[in-house]
Amino acid sequence: MWPTKVKQGAELLSLFEESGRNVQRAAYLLRDLFAEYPENPELAEEILRCEHEGDRIAHEILSRLAERGSRSANLDPADVHALTGALDDIVDLAEEAADQLSLYGVEAPMEQGQQLAETLVSASDRVADSLRELRDGEDIGANLVEIHRIENEADRIVRAAVASLFANGIDPMMVIRWKDIFETLESAVDACETVANVLEGITLKRSNGRH
């Protein structure tokens, strides 16, 4: 049997891995929602369930941190809070983007929205892989570099998408609505980069023998 502290540390890292899988599921559902919209509106309900699941996992992580501490997992408490919050943000923003489609009465998705949803899928895959590798003690450097690259690509897509809204003489209300949706999707990818930044800090502390 594992010593209690080792077991508790493994449990905390496993919860982060579970959160990563939930992020990944929300991103895939959002991609499918954008690809098929307005068909299959039930996908938005599935994303909402992911948001609730993310809240549950975040609560469990922070509860275990408060009860048992994080040193057994070689994690700084501040990093645990930051990583938990960023993972929760990704799913919250995915749910917000799904809700905006209905709230704004969108009749059909724009190509750039679909591209951004695909970008979020790519980033979420890397987030999930990184958290699994963190649990297993593997090198996560390549995934972190890729998340940063994906975030830069999302920025480029958003800039071009917003510019096209103003250039194509679209109805002003449609411009406002899609600009909001694009920016929500961009924020979700930004939250993936925040995860990468926290993970980068964790790996640096580990390599320097801290926590």
pLDDT, tens digit only, all 211 positions of the chain: 334 444 556 889 999 999 999 999 999 999 999 999 999 989 999 999 999 999 999 999 999 988 876 555 678 899 999 999 999 999 999 999 999 999 998 888 899 999 999 999 999 999 999 999 999 989 999 999 999 999 999 999 999 999 988 887 778 888 899 999 999 999 999 999 999 999 999 999 888 765 5
Q: Is 109 helix (H, G, I), strand (E, B) or coil?
A: coil
Compute the distance between CA of residue 82 and CA of residue 191 in angstroms, rounded to an integer.
Answer: 11
The pTM (predicted TM-score) of the whole model is 0.92
How much is the pLDDT for 72? 52
Give me the residue spans of the domains in the chain.
Answer: 4-207
Compute the distance between CA of residue 2 and CA of residue 63 in angstroms, rounded to an integer.
Answer: 21
The CATH class of the 4-207 domain is: mainly alpha
Angstrom CA distances, 186 to 98, 104, 125, 152, 155, stand at 13, 18, 16, 10, 7
How much is the pLDDT for 71? 56
How much is the pLDDT for 4? 45
**Alpha-carbon radius of gyration of the chain:** 18
